[in-house]
């Protein structure tokens, strides 16, 4: 699985730490870190919650090019 640099970039753009995002979507910081590293494939529900936080679509954050 590839690294999710789009998620990391969205967090940086919104000046949000992994912990802040994790708290916002009710997961651990380690989960956000694993998603960004490409070590964890999140559920569709978690993907949707993350997208809502950044006002982005699933395609914006999770579609591989």
Structural domain boundaries in the chain = 5-60
Residue 64: per-residue pLDDT: 73
Enumerate the H helices of 1-65 as residue ranges: 5-13, 18-25, 29-37, 44-54, 58-62
Tens-digit pLDDT profile for residues 25-49: 999 999 999 999 999 999 999 999 9
Place of tokens 């070590």: 39
pLDDT by residue (tens digit) across 9-29?
A: 999 999 999 999 999 999 999
**CATH class as words, domain 5-60:** mainly alpha
Which residues, in sequence order, are CB contacts of 65 under 8 Å at separation 6+?
A: none
Prediction pTM value: 0.91
């Amino acid at each position: 699985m590839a690294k999710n640099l789009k998620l990391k970039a969205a967090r940086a753009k919104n000046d949000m730490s992994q912990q802040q995002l994790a708290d916002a979507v009710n997961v651990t910081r380690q989960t956000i870190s694993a998603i960004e590293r490409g070590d964890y494939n999140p559920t569709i529900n978690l993907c949707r919650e993350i997208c809502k936080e950044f006002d982005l679509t699933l395609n914006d954050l999770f579609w591989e090019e």
